[in-house]
A and B are shown apart, each in its own frame.
Chain A
Amino acid sequence: MSPEIQLAGIHPRSERLIELTRSYERAKSSWSQVEVQLEQETKEIIKLQESLGFRHFSDGSLAWQDQLRPITRSLYGVESGTRYSRWFDTNTFYQKPIVVGKISAGDIDPRSFLRTELLAGKVERKITLPGPYTFSQLSENKHYKNYADLLVDVALAEREIIQKLKNLGVTLFQLSEPCLVYQPYRKGFRDQSEVELALRAIRSVVKDNPADFVVQTYFGDGAPLLPELLDLPISGVGIDLFETDISSLSEQEKTSKAVVVGVVDSRESFIENPSWIADTARKFSEKLGARDLVFASNSDLKFVPQEIANQKLEALSKASELFEAS
């Protein structure tokens, strides 16, 4: 079977939708006009996934204003709306969650997470959420004396939210954990106790939560943590191949887990050659002994214009065929 292709987060909005949202900001269009376009574009993204042979379908999260916001708005003890912070090293920003009380899961607004009505008929549904470690690292803590307690509560709350999302038919959860690999400013980050805390938080999200989980790392070198990530009770692990030097990966025992290969760069506009994608993925899988590969972008494709994002998905699809043929 050829490697599966998946969306790895927020898909870019079209120029039409961008113009409408700007027009809405200027009070020249109504929100219902934006909604109509959002719906149409979501349908188009689902259709594109169908045409490219996806098995797990996402809705593209076109309405998400940042990667954290739907979760932030679903938590008690967390406020937002007063501060914007930069999303890693990109020119995009997120509303910083401010932790002001004990965190627990609140009610969720299903539509803010997933357009289930547009995914009707799709049995396998994927959603991308921030992992508990990344969420807690990107929040400002004004309540907990001990970071570990904050992380535990985020994980427990996220677990509960995920259970609710399962009722919406989500079968695959990508927990994005860029903070596990991107923290160049934190000397001593490799401190094992902190890594253990992070891994424990992920375990508590997935514990007794029967769904497929993938932990996706990006914007940093995933190699040092890969063995520990592969030990987690999850179905797959994702690596950003533009930040991870394949040659630095240590030889692994064959893993039965899916490995999500972030092999198109969501931060560059040129369209990767499908042969290069297939070759690079092959080298990676041989080194890692991975049998179950998923091809994806290294992170959200929202960092490139939509037309380019769609071409990158097409390149992944062709690469998947080439990989299989060889």
Chain B
Amino acid sequence: MSKLFPVQEIGSLAKPKWRTKGLRQRLSSQDLSEAEEWAAKLGIQDFHDRAKGILRTGDDKERVKAVLELSTLYGLRLFETTGLDNDGVGGEQQRVEMYEHVIKAVHGMNLLGHVHSFDNKYFNKGVAESKISRKHPVYLPEFLDVKKYAHRAVKVPITGPYTLVDWSFSGYYIQKQQANSPKTRKIEAKREFLLDIVEQIIRPEIRDLVDAGATWIQIDEPAVTTHPEPQEMELFVEAWNETVKGFNCKFSDHTCYPSEIGYKVLAEYAPKLDKCDQLALEFANRDTSRLGLDEDSREGYSDLNHFVDSGFSGEFGLGVAHVHDYTGNVSEGAGKSVGRDLIESPELVRDRLLFATKIVGDPSKIWANPDCGLRTRTWDVAFAKLANITKGAELARETYQ
């Protein structure tokens, strides 16, 4: 029997200060002091040699390459040290963020400026100004670095085509539509834009990654649950199936923070997604922070029933840790609230996994992960959360031994 409740990350980690600064300007040894501290924790043996190289070089390109490579190595080692079974791509250290990183590599797209996402978080939103095409590979350089250093299995998260289109202004695509109704024009523009993104951007990316040895690609589609209308969901399924067609690779979907509808509609359409071996979903965010295996304590996981009812037969990546600010109470034994963070206890993680198993029925179908990427948390907090997920998965595993 393979290991039950394997642990994975979802994508991003915060960018260390030295990584952000090192992309813009030369670093001093003082700038690298935080990196030195973490090098000891993460067992980065050749830190000093690498640091010397970074400090010595006067070539900007060389420095940026070395800084990105080092921060990727740090991310991989953080995941490894906290006991994860899959290293991901080291916390997406080589990406700006999930949207902008791709859009910058697309001819025909122009980034217009930042719009509000939540609290003091924003994203740089792009518009299609002409028919789109790919300028250069988006994820391949990062994957090649990851391949050099990863000790464990690797999953490559990429931003899905539906989300890229949904988060962009349609511009060129909407202005060329002829329908009288603004609503019809929007829908027709979206379909044309979406199919262009699939063919011109995403499939060439996957081809590059698979040719370079990627065996698991996670397609991030947070936007999909925001448009539950059948027409939109069919469009999502069409784009997904077109995206994965013909590739010999494991594919999974990550969708988080659905609108009021929850995951009900995604569950209905999930069985129609070709080659979708896993759905990694956010649940901890809407769960209580108290221990227990009863439905009230584990209310956040009730949407799993929809997937079981709809006949989705793949794995679930179960969100068992919150990734945003948390300012509520925490019951005894369930974890601790530190500043704006909740550190879930292993016991809370265990209860979430065991409750989900009751619904899904088969523990071998459940992976443990945070709700989403941990980029909004500090490395200390991310470390503590991931370490506790690993311990919680061990506790859950013990109940089956």
Partner-B contacts on A (CB < 8 A): 10, 12-13, 15, 18, 21-22, 24-25, 65-66, 79, 81-94, 137-138, 184-185, 241-243, 245, 265, 268-270, 302-308
Contacts and interface: CB of A to CB of B under 8 A. Distances in A.
Interface stretch (B39-47, B225-233, B388-396): B225-233
B183 A185 contact: no
B112 A269 contact: yes
Contacts of A302: 115-116
Instruction: With a 10 A CB-CB cut-off, give which of B114, B117, B223, B225 has the most chain A CB atoms.
Output: B114
A265 B181 CA distance: 13
Contact of A268 (B169, B285, B326): B169
Nearest to B258: A86
Contact of A18 (B114, B169, B175): B114
A185 B260 contact: yes
Interface string B154-186: 000000000000110111001100000111001
Interface of B: 112-120, 122-123, 125, 127, 166-167, 169-171, 174-175, 181-183, 186, 222-223, 225-229, 257-261, 264-265, 285-286, 289, 324-328
Given A15-B113, A91-B167, A84 B260 contact: no
A320 B158 CA distance: 45
Nearest to A96: B286
Contacts of B261: 184-185
Contacts of B167: 91
A93 B118 contact: yes
A22 B120 contact: yes
A68 B228 CA distance: 23
Contact of B117 (A91, A268, A269, A304): A91
A270 B175 contact: yes
B114 A86 contact: no
Contacts of B258: 86
Chain A interface, DSSP helix/strand/loop, else mixed = loop
Given A25-B120, A66-B118, A242 B183 contact: yes
B326 A82 contact: yes
A79 B288 CA distance: 14
Contacts of A10: 116
Contact of B265 (A13, A91, A185): A185
Given A84-B324, A184-B228, A21 B257 contact: no
Given A25-B120, A90-B226, A94-B118, A81 B326 contact: yes
B174 A270 contact: yes
Contacts of B257: 84-86, 93
Contact of A92 (B112, B116, B175, B265): B116
Given A24-B120, A185-B264, A85 B171 contact: no
A308 B182 contact: no
29 contacts: A15-B113, A22-B120, A65-B118, A65-B120, A81-B325, A82-B289, A83-B286, A84-B118, A88-B226, A91-B115, A91-B166, A91-B223, A92-B116, A93-B118, A94-B118, A184-B228, A185-B260, A241-B182, A242-B183, A242-B186, A243-B183, A245-B181, A268-B174, A269-B125, A270-B169, A270-B171, A303-B115, A305-B113, A305-B114
Lowest 8 A-B CB distances belong to which pairs?
Answer: A305-B113, A269-B169, A81-B327, A93-B118, A82-B328, A185-B261, A89-B226, A21-B120
A269 B118 CA distance: 20
Contacts of A21: 120
A185 B228 CA distance: 6
A65 B121 CA distance: 10
B170 A268 contact: yes
Instruction: With a 10 A CB-CB cut-off, give which of A15, A21, A79, A91 has the most chain B CB atoms.
Output: A91
Contacts of B182: 241-242, 265
A184 B229 contact: yes
A304 B170 contact: no
Instruction: With a 10 A CB-CB cut-off, give which of A18, A82, A94, A245 has the most chain B CB atoms.
Output: A82
